[in-house]
Structure 1
Amino acid sequence: MGDKMIKDNIGNVLKTLPDSTKLIAITKYRKDEEIQEVIDAGVLDLGENRVQELTAKMSRFSPSVRWHFVGHLQRNKVKDLVGRVHLIHSVDSLRLLRKIDQESAKAEVVTAILIQFNIAKEPQKYGFSTEDLSEVMAVLKTCDHVVLKGVMAMAPHTTDTAVQREVFRKLKEIYDRIISDYDLKNIAMDTLSMGMSNDYAIAVEEGSTAVRIGTKLFTGEEK
């Protein structure tokens, strides 16, 4: 019964997504059998928010899975991710950006990253403010072992859709500004990572190219 429910939930979400929007299944706290059902349903982009969980799961599932790191990343854990993950969504400080570049250089790899913005300036969330963009790009210019693929943000957890929409709209403006104003060799923008189980429909309307959905896939609920 479980596998049909997860498959149906995935189908219901995919029906609402345009071809230009990728579904990233957030698999934190989920059993291996549930995660395998997601993979069997054809979703190969999986996201985790803890380094230890991600690296442990990597060895247990198909090498064709593309692993995304979506949580707050401590600098001492960076070396465990470079060369192994498809994309780090949560670069939220200049020190972390420099550390990813350093560890990637040591490993002789180039790491794909997104810059995380805290658009609503929520004190409990990580991320740059919109005013930090030029400083971030100045540091990025000095990094030879990262490639910037886009930006990420989370909207406040609220039933006020206007608040959510404003956050997504502002992130899209930052995304567009990077494309128009910055011509750096290590920029290859294609990912606007915004939208979760409770607000992804609005994010898609505002241009999201990657939604990060967990609860809705596994339970059908929009928490």
Structure 2
Amino acid sequence: MMKGIKENLQEIQSTLPENVTLVAVSKTKPIADLQEAYDAGQRVFGENKIQEMVAKYDELPKDIQWHMIGHLQSNKVKYMAHFVDLIHGVDSFKTLKEIDKQAKKHNRVINCLLQARIAKEDTKFGLPFSEIEAILASDELKELQNIKVVGLMGMATFTDNQEQLEEEFSSLSSFFNQNKKTYPDLTILSMGMSGDYELAIKNGSNMVRIGSSIFGVRNYIA
């Protein structure tokens, strides 16, 4: 018999160290599934499409923390600026400026993670380490009062090669540790998904994005 969402959540929670935040990746899942996870105590949910996240925000309890985990189009930031808690995939200074502009309209400070490119695949978004360092050191960043860069995010290559995954995770972890000495606001290292989160945690991740291991296989919308 298949386990339910509550059992899956409890099983995963029991494997996570105390300092690791679980983001339940609920993209394509119906409201009822999110409500079930909420009733089991989950409060942090990740979506990759803004319209879908807005629709779920309107329907679900307001103490949920919503994380935008997908690639972000600047022109859509305005739709979530009044409630989004953390934006994971920021990969340009232009996007940071747009988030700041929209957050200001709602008198909010929106937390952001800079996405590092660690995967060997060409399809993954993200910034090279040198560009992240340039953004963190820039005077322009200090001028943005309505955003806060609180950490880094990375997506590893989609592979079963554990050595490669370890290398990608450890490279981002080293870079994160090196930079948080200079920038103490950097507290979140978001890496690891259903298939590789244990390895990511071993390499210093303190936020994992898990979907299929909680909700079952993703529903692809035609």
The TM-score with structure 1 as length reference comes to: 0.91
| Contact 1:121–1:129 under 8 Å retained in 2 | no
Partner of 2:85: 86
Could you tell me how far apart the structure 1 residues matched to 2:194 and 2:119 are?
Answer: 19
The correspondence of residues 3-22 of structure 1 with structure 2, limited to 5 A, is 5-22=4-21
Partner of 1:146: 147
The letter for the 2-side match of 1:79 is: K
Residues 68 and 105 (structure 1), Cα distance of their counterparts in 2 relative to 1, 3 Å cut:
same
Could you tell me how far apart the structure 1 residues matched to 2:134 and 2:40 are?
Answer: 42
The letter for the 2-side match of 1:95 is: K
> Secondary structure of 2:143's partner?
coil
Q: CA deviation at 1:57?
A: 0.3
Q: Aligned-pair RMSD on alpha carbons? A: 1.8
> Secondary structure of 1:189's partner?
coil
> Secondary structure of 2:189's partner?
strand
> Secondary structure of 2:118's partner?
coil
Kindly, what percent of the aligned residue pairs are identical?
37
> Secondary structure of 2:89's partner?
strand
| Contact 2:26–2:211 under 8 Å retained in 1 | yes
Partner of 1:54: 53
> Are 2:179 and 1:162 equivalent residues in the alignment?
no
Bigger drift between 18-27 and 130-139 goes to 130-139
Partner of 1:173: 174
Q: CA deviation at 1:210?
A: 0.7
The letter for the 2-side match of 1:31 is: P
Q: CA deviation at 1:105?
A: 2.4
> Secondary structure of 2:23's partner?
strand
Residues 220 and 134 (structure 1), Cα distance of their counterparts in 2 relative to 1, 3 Å cut:
closer
Q: CA deviation at 1:141?
A: 2.6
Q: CA deviation at 1:178?
A: 2.2
Q: CA deviation at 1:172?
A: 1.3
Flag structure 1 segments of 5+ consecutive residues without an equivalent. Answer: none
Could you tell me how far apart the structure 2 residues matched to 1:121 and 1:130 are?
Answer: 14
Q: CA deviation at 1:220?
A: 7.9
| Contact 2:22–2:44 under 8 Å retained in 1 | yes
Q: CA deviation at 1:151?
A: 0.6
Flag structure 2 segments of 5+ consecutive residues without an equivalent. Answer: none
Residues 101 and 220 (structure 1), Cα distance of their counterparts in 2 relative to 1, 3 Å cut:
closer
The letter for the 2-side match of 1:81 is: M
Could you tell me how far apart the structure 1 residues matched to 2:66 and 2:29 are?
Answer: 15
> Are 2:190 and 1:193 equivalent residues in the alignment?
yes
Q: Cα deviation per residue 1:59-109 (whole Å; 9 max; x = unaligned)? A: 111111111000011111111122311101111112111111222223322
| Contact 1:51–1:80 under 8 Å retained in 2 | yes
Partner of 1:40: 39
Partner of 2:27: 28
Q: CA deviation at 1:199?
A: 0.3
Q: Cα deviation per residue 1:117-158 (whole Å; 9 max; x = unaligned)? A: 111353211110112122211142332211111110111010
Could you tell me how far apart the structure 2 residues matched to 1:140 and 1:161 are?
Answer: 36
| Contact 1:83–1:110 under 8 Å retained in 2 | no
Q: How many residues in Structure 1 have an aligned counterpart in Structure 2?
A: 216
Could you tell me how far apart the structure 1 residues matched to 2:103 and 2:178 are?
Answer: 27
Q: CA deviation at 1:11?
A: 1.3
Could you tell me how far apart the structure 2 residues matched to 1:47 and 1:56 are?
Answer: 13
Bigger drift between 101-110 and 90-99 goes to 101-110
Bigger drift between 102-111 and 38-47 goes to 102-111
The letter for the 1-side match of 2:154 is: A
> Secondary structure of 1:188's partner?
coil
| Contact 1:10–1:217 under 8 Å retained in 2 | yes
